[in-house]
Amino acid sequence: MATREVREKLFVQLARIGKSISHPKRIELLEILGQGERSVEALAAATAMGVSNTSAHLQVLRSARMVETRKQGTKVIYSLADELVAGFVRELWNLADARLAEVEQLIRQYLEGGETLERVTREELICRALKGDVYIIDVRPLDEYAAGHIPGAASVPFDELVQLLSTLPADMDIVAYCRGPHCVLAPKAAQILRQHGFRALVLADGMPEWRQEGLPVDVTDS
């Protein structure tokens, strides 16, 4: 096989990966699966798509070997193929951050140009958690929390935050986290908490980065 032919065939294989993420919903599916495995039905609900449409997108990802499946009774459960895929999604975000000003503009617009929120690193959070002077909340949906969360974190889904304000401590700093550094749920949650008189901060990244570092993860029944 000639060198030119080999190179062309190799680039065809790379293009399979590019094609698999050429739709925004497929990137969203990968990000959600970075929180833990999910059924097709759960993924459809999380992405506001129909089950058949979700399944079609997942098949494209599976054909590029970005995701894997297993059967659980009559349900098909999807997960990321491995940590390389999770890292690929993180680097895609980093590239968009560096090259597309619209990313930051959209986040600022969603947060309505509010105050700059203080962010804490994983190391700072661990140190403060060991001292017992910080309250950690996971603002992701309950099923993502159940699939894996920071030990000691309380589940306070973003959509239920206002109703759960009375359950939160008023005399401690509250650190919110969600799906990662580009997830807008935690910053918005911290913004709402501050508006109600709480001392709120945001974890600098999220659950996927916590897992990547090999830090302890708790799993619970949803």
Active site residues: 178
Q: H or E segment at 60?
A: helix 51-63
Q: Tokens 């970075």 map to which residue?
A: 34
Residue 37, both tokens = 């495995």
Q: Which residues pair with 173 in a beta bridge?
A: 134
Burial of 217 (0-12, 13-18, 19+ CB in 10 A): middle
**Torsion sign (Cα): 132, 200, 107, 159:** positive
Distances (CA, A) of 122 to 28, 42, 116, 136: 24, 29, 19, 12
Alpha carbons 17 and 27: distance in angstroms, whole number:
12
Backbone φ and ψ of 135, nearest 5°: -115, 125
Cβ 180 vs Cβ 170: under 8 Å: no
